[in-house]
Amino acid sequence: MSYKKVEGHVGYVKDENGVVLNVNNDEIEAARKRKELMRQKDKEINELKDEVSDIKKMLTQIVEKLNG
């Protein structure tokens, strides 16, 4: 496959179909790290949501027992 440099943009090339590709390995690795951090944060947020939901359920049960 042959690539042509994109004028005015270091680290980018176009393939035969005109698709722009990033060939800067440092930028690619940084993007991968950002993506992994976002996944970790999303996972942590979802875990916290689940814990809050569990706490709400327990509080509801306690209130029901106190009023019951």
What per-residue confidence (pLDDT) applies to 29? Answer: 97
Structural contact between residues 53 and 45, judged by C-beta atoms closer than 8 angstroms: no
What per-residue confidence (pLDDT) applies to 60? Answer: 97
| Structural domain that includes position 55 | 4-67
What per-residue confidence (pLDDT) applies to 1? Answer: 78
Which helix H or strand E contains 57, and what residues bound it?
helix 25-67
What per-residue confidence (pLDDT) applies to 68? Answer: 79
Structural contact between residues 3 and 15, judged by C-beta atoms closer than 8 angstroms: yes
What per-residue confidence (pLDDT) applies to 15? Answer: 93
Mean pLDDT by 10 residues, the chain (68 residues): 90 94 95 98 98 98 94
Structural domains of the chain, count: 1
